[in-house]
Structure 1
Amino acid sequence: MKKPKQNILYLILAASFLLSTGCTDEPSVLPVAEGTPLTVTAEIGTTDYSSTRAVALNSYDRSDFIAGDRINVACSRNDVQLASSGYTLNTAAGAWEVTTGSAGLGFLPATTCRASFPVAYDGIRTDQSTADGSAFLRSNYLLTPEVSVSGAEVNFTGDDAFGHENVKLTLKFQGSGSVSLPAFSRIILQASGLRTGGATTVETIYPFRPDTSQHSWCAVIYPRSADTDITVTVIDEYSVTYKVVLRCGMQKSTSYTYTLKFRNDILVPVGDAEIKRWDLKVRHTGGFD
């Protein structure tokens, strides 16, 4: 009577072992072969790119990537970079393609990838006032989190999408009553750490005017994450100077908008600053948001 019980116990233990070690009759899934070219998808914030959807063509700022945009994708293991490559958005194909002159990335096990835009970012520019907005765009650094690579695709979308690393400052000007605004010859922004985050050095930025029909200027500034007094100097066509000091929190990925009014030849803030996440999707038709 004891032997059958022993046989039953043996069968139960054997079955348990097979289940716990994953030994079944089903074939196991083979991993992606090392070196398999990676397919890249990327978006900014929570809006994805689709070849069937019209994309807001912001030449100076980015709510979405546009045709010809280039990103750099770096592959790392244990914080050591193994390879990097450029990828360019081809809207006709609805895909990110390996940039000409780049080798492209292949699958490597136990790695992560991170992407940045623009390529060769080298800091916030002092003069962002170039008419084509290129200096503003060069200052607008976008970065993704580290994304684990487990197959032949790496997706910088959803929670892993590109986010703004810096801060956006917008100034909107109003006249007083029926008095029209003077023509401006220059606007100057000055504050400690305005471009690099330093605590003591006063730094200067010349902001960009996206639409010459609007009295609105914007600039990329450093995310100091500290309340900072920014001096705004406006010089009109007659070389008359107006000044006002604004308090800005300079929080990463945040857009600050201040409305300033000329009142009795003095420049004064109107109401509180408008503060919102920079990655908030706002469509616009006037050239600025």
Structure 2
Amino acid sequence: MTKLKQYILHFILVASFLAVVSCTDEQSVLPVAEGTPLTVTAEIGTTDSPSTRVVALNSYDRSDFIAGDGINVVCSRNGVQLASSGYTLNAAATAWAVTTGSPGLGFLPATTCRASFPVAYDGIRADQSAADGSAFLRSNYLLTPEVSVSGAEVNFTGDNAFGHGNVKLTLKFQGSGGVSLPAFSSITLQASGLRTGDATKVETIYPFRPDTGQHSWCAVIYPRAADTDITVTVMDEYSVTYKVVLRCAMQKSTSYTYTLKLRNDILVPVGNAEIEAWDLKVRHTGGFD
């Protein structure tokens, strides 16, 4: 057990004079020895109980961590990074172990830890259309608050759980008058700062189709926190092109769903945009602009 010496000075204020009357040598004991390996727990913030989370979506859009997921944990003091290490969720999805090849983290007094997912996140991908959802997932940045370390455990749970750092955009397509939709050969999204937040640069994203049996696509976009016109361009199997412009506020950790109907060879927004906190199931609606 590491011990630090703590000196306590006793003062007496008499007639505007400050006098030191004694100095005692007391022992202050740290809760754990410096360097003790940290135990990490982590979850993705949600109001849902584990039994009601949408496990089927975990392959591309995490509602909870799954076995084999890796996170990066950074330890800092006064804003200065001291150490970092990877942690991996075990095969039973019950505990986080130091990732092979990582040093692990040990207890240091007066420090904080912060964790991120995925490991080595390098920004929102332009092409998120990979059939396995891997490019979407690589774009889906999750981050925790700074958590104070007071013992041999650091818990990224509850109010300190992982939260979504970006925005989710979902497009649902419908046919008109009972006519089925043709197959789509390509879909693109374009807007200023769609991937990086740049105020003037028009950027493109190719969205991901989670279910080939549904006319629904989704993409991770940048949290610009500004009303932004997003141009959706669809080309069908007959090389016919359809376009529509959607207004999106692009607020961090928010999920926007737009339903678009193919009517008279044009795309028409149906009703209001569905807007929800990405990590919650309670929904509210808002206008397109």
TM-score by length of 2: 0.85
Q: Deviations over 1:205-241 (max 9, x none)?
A: 0000000000000000000000000000000011100
Q: 5 Å matches for 1:198-209?
A: 198-209=198-209
Aligned residues: 257
Amino acid at match of 1:78: N
Structure 1 residue 116, shift from structure 2 partner: 0.2
Q: 5 Å matches for 1:134-153?
A: 134-153=134-153
> Helix, strand or coil: the match of 2:159?
helix
The CA distance in 2 between the partners of 1:147 and 1:206, in whole Å, is 36
- Higher strand proportion, which one? 2
Amino acid at match of 2:83: A
Write out the 4+ residue segments of structure 1 that deviate beyond 4 Å after TM superposition: 27-30, 47-50, 52-55
Aligned to 1:178: 178
Q: Deviations over 1:138-157 (max 9, x none)?
A: 00000000000000000001
- Is 1:190 aligned with 2:183? no
Structure 1 residue 178, shift from structure 2 partner: 1.8
From the superposition, tell whether residues 76 and 200 of structure 1 become closer, same or farther in structure 2 (CA, over 3 Å): same
Structure 1 residue 46, shift from structure 2 partner: 3.2
From the superposition, tell whether residues 102 and 272 of structure 1 become closer, same or farther in structure 2 (CA, over 3 Å): same
The CA distance in 2 between the partners of 1:55 and 1:87, in whole Å, is 24
Structure 1 residue 56, shift from structure 2 partner: 1.3
Amino acid at match of 2:55: A
Aligned to 1:125: 125
The CA distance in 1 between the partners of 2:122 and 2:250, in whole Å, is 20
Q: Deviations over 1:228-263 (max 9, x none)?
A: 000000000111000000000000000000000011
From the superposition, tell whether residues 54 and 205 of structure 1 become closer, same or farther in structure 2 (CA, over 3 Å): closer
From the superposition, tell whether residues 150 and 32 of structure 1 become closer, same or farther in structure 2 (CA, over 3 Å): same
Q: Deviations over 1:171-215 (max 9, x none)?
A: 000000221101000000000000000111100000000000000
Are 1:71 and 1:88, in contact at CA under 8 Å, matched by a contact in 2?
A: yes
Amino acid at match of 1:129: S
From the superposition, tell whether residues 155 and 206 of structure 1 become closer, same or farther in structure 2 (CA, over 3 Å): same
From the superposition, tell whether residues 99 and 49 of structure 1 become closer, same or farther in structure 2 (CA, over 3 Å): farther
Aligned to 2:92: 92
The CA distance in 2 between the partners of 1:270 and 1:93, in whole Å, is 41
> Helix, strand or coil: the match of 2:135?
helix
- Is 1:233 aligned with 2:233? yes
Task: Say which one has the larger Rg.
Answer: 1
From the superposition, tell whether residues 167 and 159 of structure 1 become closer, same or farther in structure 2 (CA, over 3 Å): same
Structure 1 residue 64, shift from structure 2 partner: 0.3
The CA distance in 2 between the partners of 1:106 and 1:53, in whole Å, is 35
Aligned to 1:5: none
The CA distance in 1 between the partners of 2:175 and 2:234, in whole Å, is 14
> Helix, strand or coil: the match of 2:262?
strand
TM-score by length of 1: 0.85
Are 1:42 and 1:49, in contact at CA under 8 Å, matched by a contact in 2?
A: no
Aligned to 2:8: none
Aligned to 2:169: 169
The CA distance in 1 between the partners of 2:161 and 2:121, in whole Å, is 18
RMSD (Å) for aligned C-alpha atoms:
2.2
Amino acid at match of 1:173: F
Structure 1 residue 49, shift from structure 2 partner: 9.7
> Helix, strand or coil: the match of 1:138?
helix
Aligned to 1:66: 66
Are 1:49 and 1:65, in contact at CA under 8 Å, matched by a contact in 2?
A: no
Are 1:88 and 1:98, in contact at CA under 8 Å, matched by a contact in 2?
A: yes
Structure 1 residue 265, shift from structure 2 partner: 1.1
Aligned to 1:56: 55
